[in-house]
Structure formats: structure tokens, C-alpha cells
Amino acid sequence: MSIARQLFHEFRPLFRMLEEPLTRPQFYGIPSRASDPFNNFNNFNAFLTRPAIDVKEEGDKYILDADLPGVRKENVEVRIGDNGRSVTIEGKIVERGRPEAIQTPSSASSSETSDSQSITQVDETATNITTERPSSYTRNAVFSRTIWLPRPVDTQNVSAKLDHGVLTVTVKKSQDKESTVIPVE
């Protein structure tokens, strides 16, 4: 084993500790001690840059559950790297739009349902009482998270499913090719 590889192997726990945050992140709007009270705009984006991930070991596989609210499956990428030792989840949220019009009780509302589509008409003459968002807005958030696994995994047996804002990645453990059992005489 080379010296560089051995040093990297020795420092791997340190790198794992640096991967984790030093302070507790905000959780559903509850500020942590380290949050900046003057920077409220980026708090939501900061929450998305480190999605919460649970890692479970079940028999011969690892199951990762990541909270990705508001992320479409087209905008999520899952990669296995470092010879099957790490799982990286990357993605982005892009929202463009206008504030929704207020629907008043006097507005003409009709719903037509055909198969899986529902159409609602909103009175365009409704008056907004208050508007806190600009008339047109764009919000971009990019996130990336790498999880180091205790054992290498089989890169051919990986499945990922995004359901109701929770990404579930299932990876099977690979056979340990570096070690061999030597019979004792």
C-alpha cells in the first residue's frame, strides 16, 4: 500500500467529521444559535444546501432516505463514487412565477375534471390586499451531499425513488474483494 493511500485511509474519519456541520442547522424555521438574524432571505436556501439524510443498514444493503421537498426527479442526480464507498446526491430547485391571484367568494369558479386534470378559473379583477413577493420572482437553490459508507457497495445494484419529497436510495453491499480467507493448518 502506498504512503499516500495509507495516509488518506488514516485521515478518512477526519474528512467525515469535516463533512458534517459544526452547529445544528435550522429545523423548520426554528433558528439555531449560529444562524444570522440579519440574513433571513438565505435561510431557506441554506436548509436546502444540506438536506437531512438517514442511513440504515438492512442485511446486505444500505438504505438512504433524503428529505428533498419541492425537488423534481428530473433535477436530482445520484452518483456512487470512490470505488463504491460514497453516495453523492446533487440537485437544484428552480422556481419562476407570479404570485397566485386571490380567489374571492364572488369570483366565478368552475371545475371541469377530465381524467386527471382539474381546471379552476379565477376572477382576474380580484384586488390583492397585500403582496410581499415581487410581481415576478425567481428562486434558485442548489444542493449537494456526499455520504461515506462503511463498506463498498455494488454500483450495478442501485435503485433510487423520489416519492412525496423523500428520496430513497437502496444500494447493495459488494463482496469484499481485498480480503481472502486463508485456512489455518
Asked whether 171 and 153 are in contact (CB, 8 A), the reply is: yes
User: Is 14 contained in some domain?
Assistant: yes
Can you give the CATH number for the domain in which 149 is found?
A: 2.60.40.790
Domain count for the chain, please give it.
Answer: 1
Please give the pLDDT value at position 87.
94
Determine how many CB atoms are found less than 10 A away from the CB of residue 133.
11
Identify whether 108 is part of a domain. Answer: no
Q: How far apart are CA 69 and CA 171, in angstroms?
A: 22
Structural domain that includes position 163: 3-30+41-99+134-173
Separation between Cα atoms, residue 155 and residue 174, nearest integer Å: 8
Q: What is the pLDDT of residue 120?
A: 52
Would residue 81 count as lying in a domain? yes
What does the block give as the cell for 13?
474519519
Per-residue pLDDT of the chain (185 residues; tens, 9 = 90+): 577 777 777 777 777 666 655 544 544 444 554 554 444 444 454 444 678 899 999 999 999 999 988 888 899 999 999 888 999 999 988 776 654 544 444 444 444 444 445 555 555 677 777 766 666 666 777 888 999 999 889 989 999 999 999 999 999 998 866 667 788 98
Give the pTM.
Answer: 0.55
Residue 36 lies in a domain: no
